[in-house]
Amino acid sequence: MSKQKEWLPAFIQFVKFGIVGLSNTLISYVVYLAGVRLGMHYLLASVLGFVISVLNSFYWNNKYVFQKGSEERNLFLTLIKTFLAYASTGLILANILLYIWVDVLGISEYLGPIINLVITVPLNFVINKLWAFRTKRKNTIIV
C-alpha cells in the first residue's frame, strides 16, 4: 500500500473528529459562557459545559467518526471510556490550564478555553481513536 493510502483514512477520520470537536467546542463554550454570565463560578461552568459536550461527542463519534463496521463494540463501556478520555484532557488538563491562564497569567476567562484547544484536541483524538472507540474483531474461524 502506498504511503498516501496508509495515512489518508486516518487523516479523513481526524477531519471528521475535528468537525465533531467543533460542535463540542461550541456547545461547551456556549454552556460555559451562559454559566459564567448567570453568576456560576468559571470552573463549575466549565464542568457543566464538559458534561454536555461529551454526550454530544459520544453520539457523533460513535455514529460518524469511529464507525464500527463488522467489529463488536459495547456502547456502555465506550461511553464510560469516552467520559474518561475527555475527563483526562477536557476536564482535568483543561481546567488546570484554565486556572493557569486565568489566575496565574491573568488571561481573560473567556479566552482561556480557546487557548486550551491547541493542546486538548490532538490529545483527545489519539485517546479516542486508540482506546475509547477501539473495537474488537469478531472471532471467525476460517476453514
**pLDDT tens string 22-72:** 898 899 889 999 999 999 998 899 889 988 998 998 889 888 888 766 566
86 phi, psi to nearest 5 deg: -70, -30
pTM for this predicted structure: 0.65
What's the pLDDT score for residue 41?
93
What does the DSSP 8-state code read for residue 74?
A: -
Dihedral sign from CA coordinates of 22, 80, 75, 7? positive
4 phi, psi to nearest 5 deg: -65, -40
Q: If you search the block for the grid coordinates 459564567, which residue do you land on?
A: 36
* Mean residue pLDDT across the chain: 83
